[in-house]
Amino acid sequence: MKANAIQQLLDARKQAADRLATDLIMDCERAASGRNCRNSNPAQWNGTDWRRYLRAAAHSPAALHLTALYASIGEIESGRIRG
Q: What is the 3-state secondary structure (H, E, C) of 58-83?
A: HHCHHHHHHHHHHHHHHHHHHCCCCC
Domain boundaries defined on the chain = 3-78
pLDDT bracket for residue 69 (50, 70, 90): very high
Predicted confidence at residue 23, as pLDDT, reads 93
Predicted confidence at residue 71, as pLDDT, reads 93
Q: Among 22, 10, 73, which residue's Cα sits nearest to residue 1?
A: 10
Is the pLDDT at 76 greater than 70? The verdict is yes
pLDDT, tens digit (0-9, with 9 covering 90-100), for 28-66: 999 998 877 777 888 999 999 999 999 999 999 888 899
70, 25 Cβ separation under 8 angstroms:
no
DSSP state, residue 37: T
76, 5 Cβ separation under 8 angstroms:
no
pTM exceeding the 0.85 threshold for the entire prediction: no
